Amino acid sequence: MTAGYIVTGIDTGVGKTVFAAGLAGHLGARYWKPVQAGLAEETDSEVVRRLAGRRAQVLPETYRLATPCSPHEAARIEGETIVAERLVLPSGEGPLVVEGAGGVLVPLSDTLLTADRFASWGLPAVVVARTTLGTINHTLLTLEALKAREITIAGVVFSGDENIASETAITRFGAVPHLGRLPHLVPLDAETLAAAFVSHIRTELLG
């Protein structure tokens, strides 16, 4: 089994955290959100703790920033500097699921992009993509950015209603595996997510 995965997406709010929770629960993994920007509402780590069930262990964030914006700007506003040397993979037993902030080219500082830190970790990436209009372009650009940094891409997971044309175009032009699609879940809780993960995600490709 792989040592873990990076979960990233084509944008903010595409379903990364829900997928990361499902993956962490499925693998019995540790979950780590290196940088959290925005603390007023439920944080991503809190969402994963609620949705992953007892099989996942949620690790503390390295940076917790109150301002809900790009991490580099949130850090500037709060008098903080995000430095690469602090963003090292946490040690421990078992697989690790790492969730990035926003998309792959989100700045962490004036000199560091999220994808550059991904490249240093050596973990394969799962890209979470919407199925709505614009997803083909945004997802293919995300894949290009990862490939340019020689980051292994485990595949693409889609979030939302089925869109066969877009899903097929992305996996064909991107030359990456289709890992499945998580539909909208009502209610969304640990039980419904675990069931949907097994039913809709190609778990055999993820260990």
pTM to 2 decimals? 0.96
Residue the block writes with tokens 């709010």: 13
> Does residue 1 carry a pLDDT above 50?
no
Q: Are 85 and 79 spatial neighbours (Cβ–Cβ below 8 Å)?
A: no
Number of domains the chain is built from = 1
pLDDT tens digits for range 47-59? 999 999 888 999 9
Q: What is the mean pLDDT of the chain?
A: 96
Identify the H or E element spanning 35: strand 35-37
Q: Which domain holds residue 196?
A: 4-205
16 is catalytic: no
Helix residue ranges per DSSP H, the chain: 16-27, 44-51, 71-77, 114-121, 135-148, 164-174, 190-200
Active-site pick, 16, 33, 49, 72: 33
- Whole-number Cα distances in Å, 4 to 10, 95, 97, 138: 20, 5, 6, 25
Which CATH number covers residue 119?
Answer: 3.40.50.300
> Does residue 2 carry a pLDDT above 70?
no
pLDDT tens digits for range 158-197? 999 999 999 999 999 999 999 999 999 999 999 999 999 9
Residue 66 CA to residue 40 CA, distance in Å, equals 7
> Does residue 126 carry a pLDDT above 80?
yes
Across the range 100-123, mean pLDDT stands at 97
- Percentage of the chain surpassing pLDDT 90? 95
What angle, rounded to 10 degrees, do the helices at 16-27 and 190-200 form?
80
pLDDT of residue 54: 87
